[in-house]
Amino acid sequence: MGKGKIIIVGGGLAGLMSAIKAAEAGVEVDLFSVVPVKRSHSVCAQGGINGAVNTKGEGDSPWEHLDDTIYGGDFLANQPPVKAMCEAAPGIIHLLDRMGVMFNRTPEGLLDFRQFGGTKYHRTAYAGATTGQQLLYALDEQVRRQEVNGLVHKHEYEEFLSAVIDDDKVCHGIVVQDLKSMEIQVYRADAVIVASGGLGMIYGKSTNSMINTGSAAGELYQQGAYFANGEFIQIHPTAIPGEDKLRLMSESARGEGGRLWTYKNGKPWYFLEEMYPAYGNLVPRDVATRAIFDICVNQHLGINGENMVYLDLSHKDPHELDVKLGGIIDIYEKFVGEDPHKVPMKVFPAVHYSMGGLWVDFDQMTNIKGLFACGECDYQYHGANRLGANSLLSAIYGGMVAGPNAVRYLKGLDKSSEEESSALFDDAREREKERYRRITEMDGDENAYVLHKELGEWMTKYVTVVRENKTLLATDQHIQELMERYKHININDTSKWSNSGASFTRQLWNMMELARVITLGAYNRNESRGAHYKPEFPERNDEDWLKTTKAKYNPDTNGPDFEYEPVDISLIKPRKRDYTHDK
Amino acid sequence: MSEESRPKSIQLIITRQDGPDAPPYKETFEVPYRPNMNVISALMAIRRNPVTAGGKKTSPPQWEMNCLEEVCGACSMVINGRPRQACTALIDKLEKPIRLEPMGTFPIVRDLIVDRSRMFDALKQVKAWIPIDGTYDLGPGPRMAESKRQWAYELSKCMTCGVCLEACPNVNSKSDFMGPAPLSQVRLFNAHPTGAMNKAERLHAIMGPGGIAGCGNSQNCVQVCPKGIPLTTSIAVLNRATVGQSFRDFFGSDNM
Amino acid sequence: MEDHEYGLHRLHSLLGVIPIGLFLIVHLTVNYQATKGADAFNHAASAMESLPYLLFLELIMIYLPILFHAVFGVYIAFTAKNNVGNFSFFRNWMFVFQRFSGLFLVIFLAWHLWQTRIAMALGTPLNYELMVHALSNPGIVIFYLVGILCAVYHFSNGLWAFCVHWGILVSPKSQRIGTYVSLVIFVLLSYVGIRALFAFI
């Protein structure tokens, strides 16, 4: 066979990194993205990227990083890939530095590192408070360079509709739709890497960008890919409530000395410092979120009785704040109109990150041959809760693993996708054309955006911080009702040109399918672990539940069947997770 | 704002266009007011109920958006005459009725969506990247003074939103001027210790077609940039650098 | 022209200062002699006319540079899409005035040249009387007044732009002070030019 061809779906950090790796190996890449890749959701990451470079004489090491990550993830992550990631981390930070990322520096001109939640070390490299944006731009620039070299072909404003999968469960390409001309086309490839990001839009309002519908992953799940650990959704403790979205206030605010407090008996109460003396404000996110939630919802001690607490930076040096946290200070000032240099910010938890995602093996390949996944859309690196500043790392590292493994996979094929029969591809395209035609003809009386809002409200209310079996079941019932009402959507817009409403309607179905995976996964898991907290089962139960959830789509029931798989704990023995004292 | 003075609803006049070659037209919408609304949440409200103020059913207006935190650059549009990000355009601070138009400097795709691909092409033209040897582990990058890092970081925040091009009188269909955004990137990459090795290449690129000569110093760009990037300083720095470069090219330099 | 655009722009900017700007200063200074009476003006004017290689000097130092500056300047002016309506910033106004003053100057200078230098070449002596006669029409006075103000503005603002384009003024602070300096030059040269104008009336 020839040199082979790789398709990458998604142009965030994971997609771009895998594209660079594949191009570097001399393989041509078709890169698909619903937005210009420079606008991918990776830009929203603020605080930094972890790597045990150990420049502060603290004795940090990749092993410590591994231990913090596994412990922070409540032992649900398979340990060998996490170890490999932590070992690669310092090299990744140096690589990004060489690409020109404007990381903050020490007086000697070396990389500076700050502290983040769930660790005792200064392990987080950062570029102000817009680290994700800076990293994405660096990779975007390298991909642009490969584009000029002729190895990467970008297809921006083209949406992944489905994978082309043969009867032997091997992936040979994808079907896409041009979001301007609305034309549906099929592309052949010898390997497909999906790096389609998170699914926060399932919750309506979250810290996620508007493209984070999880639609691509949801479609692949319906095509037979396993979706793993879906019930683990990270709720970030500090976000600004908003009409259109919940805007993240980075954990780096606390890493740089920010304190959480509210009034109790008329006096400021620094609750995290009191409850968790060892880690104080730098407990992992799930822990901080549950504390805030309990204080506001159960104890009614939020600011003015509302669901908000203070995140206070006003005691810090204003110039230092600008240099280290400028990005988020700007966001708060622009959207709230108050100056965090002077007054404490008002924040509340918000849906932030999906630890779960497409199931992949240690080579980042899904259970469908030739179909790889990396970035937030996979489930590999964070277990039951992700540590702050590990997401940028896992996205880039996932791409670094997926890219070369996709190349290795296609080199081992004895038949190129170009030689596959065209019937397979024609059928796939026609199927999508038919599906799209049916969407454009929907003329009921429901509005897709209204249904979405309702989905988000239910998911946010019942499948976030505190989960109860009764309401989880009710939520699943409600999602199924929404799926019924979905059939009566009115498309409102019959334009055959740049019709975002039709695209959204298609995505909404995939969102609802994944919503069921999340909800039922949570319902089944009768324990509390990491971000998954059930008052009915408040303890972690390793005996029954130290295992990975794998959801498999059942077309007959239009819902998930669940399987469970043991977790690889070959490196660190599980121990009780308790942040009231040092681990 | 006190309870009584709050409006019950707000009016938006949107300039629409069904496709690149279709004629533009205006539609007025009325959406219920809610505190802390921005233009995006008003557009979202229209999308949930696509009916004009006159009660006519219409297609929901199309616009681009993504992060809603002013870091992705997607939601640029002309709001009350000024190009800016729609996410940071807070309703309470805008004159009513609110007028929304697409950024006319770019080809219109549909309604408020425009085609900004020329900006990404310009980044290719000026070689806006650090030509690293490869992505394998080659040890730490070059050291850099924190003071220099701080101003370079300001330049690296450019999100290719296109607002500076929209405001620039010299970026239009009669000229091929690439606009301020890509020029400022040349300054950024020429400031990086590794990027500086290819300084001359980038300077030659902006001394070519569509390059820095197109700047007429109206300095609108620096006034409208949502990220506060010192664009005119970047251009002035590059003016000096290109003059120096042309002297070196003509009279010769050490390495000739 | 594409390939040489950078060079042409920079040449355009340079010629505006040297020699055209310098010539403007010399010209206004000679005119200013009119405030000291007809004889003083005639003396200064004839001193200029008695320079050796006059036509050659005029051609190299004045006509060709102005011709190039005018033609390329018109091209620059017409490639802009002026937008002071939505962007009424100080520098944007200066930008627009620079282009309008330039366009007006093309017309003004053509007229001015016809009335003076070409008339002289055709045998009319160029002296105080000629100007007094020409400026006996109030319309022409206004035309000249606007012409002088435009020329002085175009030069002083152009001097600032030259300093930016040639990389002399880089920092925002130096550009701001440069603006003040160009304003002072504008005021001083306007005074010289307008007083000379009224000396002929």
Q: What is the mean pLDDT of residues C36-65?
A: 90
Please give the Cα distance from A248 to A525 (Å, whole number): 28
Chains touching B (at least 3 CB pairs under 8 A) are A, C
Closest chain B residue to A445, measured at CA? B49
User: Which residues does B92 contact at the CB level (< 8 Å), separation at least 6?
Assistant: B1, B35, B36, B37
B-facing residues of A in 312-351 (CB < 8 A) are: 323, 327, 330-331, 334-335, 337
Chain C environment of B213 (Cβ under 8 Å): 5-6, 8-10
Predicted pLDDT of residue C12: 97
For residue C2, pLDDT beyond 60 = no
A-facing residues of B in 44-63 (CB < 8 A) are: 44, 47-50, 57, 59-60, 62
Picking from B151, B203, B239, B249 by the largest number of C CB atoms within 10 A of its own CB, the best residue to mutate is B239
Interface B–C counts its CB contacts (< 8 A) at 101
Does residue B105 sit within a domain?
yes
Does residue B1 sit within a domain?
no
Chunked into runs of 10 residues, chain B (256 residues) has average pLDDT values of 69 97 97 94 96 96 97 98 97 96 97 98 98 95 97 97 98 95 98 96 96 97 98 98 94 73
Domain extent for B193 = 117-251
Chain C environment of B180 (Cβ under 8 Å): none
Q: Which domains does chain C have, with CATH numbers?
A: 2-199 (1.20.1300.10)
**Out of C79, C87, C95, closest to residue B174 by CB:** C79
Domain boundary among B79, B114, B149: B114
Q: C6, B242: Cβ pair inside 8 Å?
A: yes
C78 in B contact zone (CB under 8 Å)? yes
Does residue B232 sit within a domain?
yes
Does residue B39 sit within a domain?
yes
Q: A105, B146: Cβ pair inside 8 Å?
A: yes
**Out of B113, B141, B153, closest to residue A97 by CB:** B141
Predicted pLDDT of residue C123: 83
| CA-to-CA separations, C61 to C10, C14, C55, C120, in angstroms, rounded | 17, 13, 10, 19
Structure tokens given for C84: 């002071």
Q: How many domains does chain B have?
A: 2
Indicate whether B108 and B125 sit together in one domain. no
Q: Which residues of B lie closer than 8 Å to C, measured between beta carbons?
A: 81-82, 167, 169-170, 172, 174-175, 207-209, 211-214, 216-220, 223-224, 230, 232-233, 236-237, 239-244, 246
Chain B environment of C80 (Cβ under 8 Å): 169-170, 172, 175, 216
B135 in A contact zone (CB under 8 Å)? yes
Predicted pLDDT of residue A102: 98
Domain boundary among B114, B131, B148: B114
Indicate whether B87 and B109 sit together in one domain. yes
Q: B38, A128: Cβ pair inside 8 Å?
A: no
Indicate whether B26 and B40 sit together in one domain. yes
Picking from C4, C78, C79 by the largest number of B CB atoms within 10 A of its own CB, the best residue to mutate is C79
B178 in A contact zone (CB under 8 Å)? no
**Out of C80, C94, C166, closest to residue B243 by CB:** C166
Give the ipTM of the model, two decimals please: 0.96
B200 in A contact zone (CB under 8 Å)? no
Does residue B158 sit within a domain?
yes
Structure tokens given for A388: 């702050």
Domain boundary among B114, B144, B166: B114
Three-class SS string for chain B? CCCCCCCCEEEEEEEECCCCCCCCEEEEEEEECCCCCEHHHHHHHHHHCCECCCCCECCCCCCCCCCCCCCCCCCEEEECCEEEECCCCEHHHCCCCEEEECCCCCCEEECCEECCHHHHHHHHHCCCCCCCCCCCCCCCCCCCCHHHHHHHHHHHCCCCCCHHHHHCCCCCCCCCCCCHHHHHHHHHHHHCCCHHHHHHHHHHHHCCCCCHHHCCCCCHHHHHCCCCCCHHHHHHHHHHHHHHHHHHHHHCCCCC
Q: B49, A447: Cβ pair inside 8 Å?
A: yes
Predicted pLDDT of residue C3: 66
Closest chain B residue to A504, measured at CA? B47
Indicate whether B73 and B124 sit together in one domain. no
Confidence class of residue C122 from pLDDT cuts 50, 70 and 90? confident
B109 in A contact zone (CB under 8 Å)? yes
Indicate whether B123 and B161 sit together in one domain. yes
A131 in B contact zone (CB under 8 Å)? no
Indicate whether B194 and B103 sit together in one domain. no
Q: In this structure, what CATH number is given to the domain that contains residue B78?
A: 3.10.20.30
Catalytic status, residue A39: no
Does residue B193 sit within a domain?
yes
Q: Which of A114, A123, A285, A386 is catalytic?
A: A285
Predicted pLDDT of residue C1: 45
Indicate whether B124 and B222 sit together in one domain. yes
Does residue B2 sit within a domain?
no
CA dihedral C187, C189, C191, C194 (to 10 degrees): -130
User: In angstroms, what separates the C-alpha of B190 from chain A's closest C-alpha?
Assistant: 11
Closest chain C residue to B78, measured at CA? C86
B68 in A contact zone (CB under 8 Å)? yes
Closest chain B residue to C99, measured at CA? B216
State pLDDT tens for residues A484-520.
999 999 998 989 999 999 999 999 999 999 999 999 9
Residue with tokens 């303890």: A539
Q: What is the mean pLDDT of residues C157-178?
A: 98
Predicted pLDDT of residue C4: 85
Asked whether at least 3 C-beta pairs link C and A within 8 Å, the reply is: no
Chains touching C (at least 3 CB pairs under 8 A) are B
Indicate whether B100 and B134 sit together in one domain. no
Q: B195, A247: Cβ pair inside 8 Å?
A: no
Interface A–B counts its CB contacts (< 8 A) at 189
Indicate whether B110 and B25 sit together in one domain. yes
Predicted pLDDT of residue B254: 67
Q: In this structure, what CATH number is given to the domain that contains residue B177?
A: 1.10.1060.10
Does residue B87 sit within a domain?
yes
Predicted pLDDT of residue C50: 87
Q: A95, B123: Cβ pair inside 8 Å?
A: no
Write out the H or E segment, with its range, that includes residue A355. Answer: none
Indicate whether B57 and B73 sit together in one domain. yes
Indicate whether B129 and B243 sit together in one domain. yes
Structure tokens given for A262: 């509210």
Other Cβ atoms less than 10 A from the Cβ of A305: the count is 9
Indicate whether B155 and B208 sit together in one domain. yes
Residues of chain A with pLDDT under 50: 1
Question: What does the angle CA A241 – CA A244 – CA A246 come to, to the nearest 5 degrees?
Answer: 35
B1 in A contact zone (CB under 8 Å)? no
